[in-house]
Amino acid sequence: MEDLHRRVLVTGGAGFLGSHLCERLLKADCDVICADNFYTGTKNNVAHLVGHPRFEVLRHDVTFPLYVEVDEIYNLACPASPIHYQFDPVQTVKTAVHGAINMLGLAKRVKGKILQASTSEVYGDPTVHPQTESYWGNVNQIGPRACYDEGKRCAETLFFDYHRQHGVNIRIARIFNTYGPRMHPNDGRVVSNFIVQALKGDPITVYGDGSQTRSFCFVDDLIDALVRLMAAPDEAFGPFNLGNPDEYTILELAERIVTMIGSRSRIIRAPLPQDDPMQRCPDISRARRILDWEPSVPLEEGLERTIGYFKSLLKVE
Ligand SMILES: NC(=O)c1ccc[n+]([C@@H]2O[C@H](COP(=O)([O-])OP(=O)(O)OC[C@H]3O[C@@H](n4cnc5c(N)ncnc54)[C@H](O)[C@@H]3O)[C@@H](O)[C@H]2O)c1
């Protein structure tokens, strides 16, 4: 019988972004296969989707080939926070590079579209601000973050080579800091770190003097961008910077979270980690122009929803 639903594979589908993406695709009537090895993602993240007639979970490591019949692939599988990707750096490189080769091979075989979840980390510690997609980056290839940064850079190379050499229909999303419900509570990412510390009344650790800036995109906005990118005309394959261009200093973020929670936490300082970028801000003009996309959830609202999630996770009133 003819299947009218688009069949979509989401690798890393049990992770923070992946689980929101699976949800969104099911709402759009797709058949969704979530493939994950549960390295940093959890079954809990997709437990509410299990039992949905068009949803399927596969325990699978993308460093091994996968044969499934799909129309579209979102390749999100990869540990994303420094604590997680530095825990087993060799595995991180394998996931980024072998994972890309395996998923590109699949896209080539099924003649499907494939979207890569790349990262602002491909810009390293940037020397131009804000970063446009034409900037080649400033990455320390032998530093502790290189397993992730260079892994993701190599994955982009592979995507472009599969496109040029084999005509694979690709999409590249360079994702900047995204936050929201289902972030891992102990992954050391700044938003989750601060919220968890503030909810527990623990000291809030700000690295350096806190004047380094970051931009924060709420997960719903980011997922909207990924879906738009997949649906964009084939020649609009990117790369696209996707993130929120509003910049905040880390200290401002810490103070805002403490105030919103009404926490008794004190803000304390710790030394800046190696290769921590001073400034990170996307230029999203390309996404605005071609995808007709820009973030719409204000920081206050996104934080409110994220704080609500962590309150229920940590069982704090
Ligand atoms: N969240 C962000 O701010 C952000 C920023 C830039 C890029 N990204 C990219 O988006 C993607 C998703 O990130 P996230 O924030 O949801 O992180 P996450 O850690 O929550 O999700 C990653 C998922 O990939 C799975 N995974 C890891 N290695 C795997 C492997 N070898 N085989 C199969 N599954 C594997 C994990 O178990 C997890 O479910 C990643 O590729 C990340 O690099 C995220």
pLDDT of residue 3: 53
pLDDT of residue 259: 97
Q: Which of 156-165, 221-230, 307-316 has the lowest mean pLDDT?
A: 307-316
pLDDT of residue 272: 87
Ligand 1 mean position, distance from CA 255 (Å): 28
Residue 281 in contact with ligand 1 by CB distance below 6 A: no
5 Cβ contact partners less than 8 Å away, ≥ 6 residues apart: 29, 30, 31, 54
Report the mean per-residue pLDDT for the chain: 95
Among 40, 88, 145, residue to substitute to test ligand 1 (most atoms within 8 Å of Cβ): 40
Assign 3-state DSSP to the chain and report helix, strand, coil percentages, each to 5.
Answer: 40, 20, 40
Residue 158 in contact with ligand 1 by CB distance below 6 A: no
Residue 98: is its pLDDT beyond 80?
yes
Residue 83: is its pLDDT beyond 70?
yes
Report, as an integer, the average pLDDT of 243-261: 96
Peptide bond into 239 cis (omega under 30): yes
Higher pLDDT, 130 or 300: 300
pLDDT of residue 1: 47
pLDDT of residue 307: 98
pLDDT of residue 316: 79
